[in-house]
């Protein structure tokens, strides 16, 4: 009769459940998009935090005068008081009290929505017009000769120079602010569209011609899809310019608007309100750029992501 062999340590460990797979970490259970977004969000908060800390240090050592350059804890900490100034549509009406009209929180949302609406409408009109004109310049030789020199001539003109024209033509209201956004983007986007068309790979055009594509099919199925990635990048960059221009246009008087708040803060010498509005505009611009990048990924799903490809070099 054979004697039982003693169990080794490995066998004993396996019998106790040592051969089980380790439990997955919480990080691995998160969706892939969330795992990619969290580090970027964290680094963005660190970057903003470092800038705010530097500003606070300048205030703590007496370099920055709090009456002229109030630190973030002053103009962001007094949030309820700052909101009282956003009711710009009724503040200057005769016989209307300061506290009449919408509540401070409602006035804040009205102001943000009004400025964002002017930016988005102007951006949409400028995009449609500029792409249509840019394609027409390269599609029709007569349009190229008649229109392109004028657009090149007007492109260097500052959008601020068009402000009196906007007031003369459209008066006071939303129309001049939207017109200013369109003017600020239109000329540059037309030239960008023309340059993008000129830079399309000639092999794609030759292959399409070999397969019998007409001129209209060539533009609709080859050239326009080829220039979309570059045009969306230009659109993203011009989005920041649209926010800059709309603030100047709103300062002329449009009811609700961030430009109105900035002008009121300047006239009443309220630095805290100025920096509070600047921080709000920066946040809106950041969110607009994030939304534009999200739309760009959705539309251009076939374009590979090239972000941070050189970080490992």
Q: CATH number, domain at 239?
A: 1.10.3720.10
> What pLDDT score does 313 carry?
47
89 — pLDDT class (breaks 50, 70, 90): low
Sign, Cα dihedral of 149, 150, 152, 153: positive
> What pLDDT score does 90 carry?
54
Give 23 or 43, the one with higher predicted confidence.
43
94 by DSSP, 3-state: which? coil
Which domain covers residue 15, as residue numbers?
A: 9-60
Give 202 or 12, the one with higher predicted confidence.
202
- pLDDT, one tens digit per residue, over 239-290 is 888 888 888 888 776 667 888 888 888 888 888 888 888 888 888 888 888 8
Residues 38 and 159 in one domain: no
Please tell me the distance from the alpha carbon of residue 94 to that of residue 141, in angstroms, as a whole number: 57
Residues 160 and 281 in one domain: yes
Residues 182 and 231 in one domain: yes
Tell me the backbone φ, ψ of residue 62, rounded to 5 degrees. Answer: 80, 10
Residues 44 and 134 in one domain: no
50 — pLDDT class (breaks 50, 70, 90): very high
Q: Does residue 115 have a pLDDT over 50?
A: yes
Q: What is the largest distance, in Å, between two alpha-carbon atoms of the chain?
A: 113
> Cα angle vertex 130, ends 176, 163, to 5°?
20
How is residue 125 written in tokens? 């009109």
**Residue 66 resides in a domain:** no
> What pLDDT score does 95 carry?
44
Q: Does residue 100 have a pLDDT over 80?
A: no
Fill in the DSSP letter of residue 217: H
310 — pLDDT class (breaks 50, 70, 90): very low
214 — pLDDT class (breaks 50, 70, 90): confident
**Residue 75 resides in a domain:** no
Mean pLDDT of the 32-54 span: 82
Mean pLDDT of the 84-97 span: 58
Q: Does residue 306 have a pLDDT over 80?
A: no
Domain count, the chain: 2
DSSP class per residue in 36-80: HHHHHHHHHHHHHHHHHHHHHHHHHTT-S-TTTS--HHHHTTTHH
**Residue 159 resides in a domain:** yes
Residues 38 and 127 in one domain: no
> What pLDDT score does 255 carry?
67
106 — pLDDT class (breaks 50, 70, 90): confident
**Residue 69 resides in a domain:** no
137 — pLDDT class (breaks 50, 70, 90): very high
**136 Cβ partners below 8 Å, 6+ apart?**
143, 147
Q: Does residue 37 have a pLDDT over 80?
A: no
How is residue 282 written in tokens? 């920066």
Most confident of 36-40, 82-86, 138-142: 138-142
**Residue 243 resides in a domain:** yes
Sign, Cα dihedral of 129, 135, 137, 140: negative
CA 264 to chain CA mean position, Å = 25
312 — pLDDT class (breaks 50, 70, 90): very low
130 — pLDDT class (breaks 50, 70, 90): very high
> What pLDDT score does 30 carry?
64
Mean pLDDT of the 7-11 span: 52
**Residue 293 resides in a domain:** yes
Please tell me the distance from the alpha carbon of residue 265 to that of residue 81, in angstroms, as a whole number: 13
Name the CA radius of gyration of the chain, rounded: 29
Q: Does residue 33 have a pLDDT over 80?
A: no
């Amino acid at each position: 009769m054979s004697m039982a062999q003693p169990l080794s340590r490995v066998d004993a460990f396996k019998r106790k459940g040592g051969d089980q797979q380790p439990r997955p970490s919480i990080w691995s259970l998160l969706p892939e998009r969330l795992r990619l977004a969290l580090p970027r969000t964290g680094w963005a908060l660190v970057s903003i935090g470092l800038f705010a800390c530097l500003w606070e240090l300048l205030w703590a050592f007496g370099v920055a005068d709090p009456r002229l350059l109030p630190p973030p804890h002053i103009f962001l900490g007094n949030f309820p008081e700052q909101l009282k100034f956003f009711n710009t549509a009724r503040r200057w009406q005769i016989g209307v009290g300061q506290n009449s009209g919408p509540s401070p929180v409602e006035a804040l949302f009205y102001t943000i929505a009004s400025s964002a609406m002017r930016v988005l409408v102007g951006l949409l009109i400028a995009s449609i017009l500029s792409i249509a004109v840019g394609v027409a310049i390269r599609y029709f030789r007569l349009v190229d000769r008649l229109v392109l020199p004028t657009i090149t001539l007007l492109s260097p003109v500052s959008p601020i120079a068009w402000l009196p024209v906007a007031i003369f033509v459209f008066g006071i209201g939303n129309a001049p602010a939207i017109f200013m956004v369109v003017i600020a983007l239109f000329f540059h986007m037309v030239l960008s569209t023309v340059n993008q068309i000129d830079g399309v790979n000639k092999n794609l055009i030759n292959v399409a011609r070999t397969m019998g594509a007409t001129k209209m099919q060539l533009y609709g199925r080859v050239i326009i899809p080829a220039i979309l990635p570059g045009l969306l990048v230009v659109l993203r960059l011009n989005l920041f310019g649209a926010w800059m221009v709309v603030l100047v246009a709103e300062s002329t008087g449009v009811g609700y608007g961030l430009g109105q708040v900035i002008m009121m803060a300047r006239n009443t010498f309220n630095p805290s309100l100025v920096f509070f509005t600047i921080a709000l505009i920066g946040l809106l611009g950041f969110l607009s750029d994030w939304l534009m990048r999200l739309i760009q990924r959705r539309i251009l799903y076939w374009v590979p992501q090239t972000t941070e490809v050189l970080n490992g070099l």
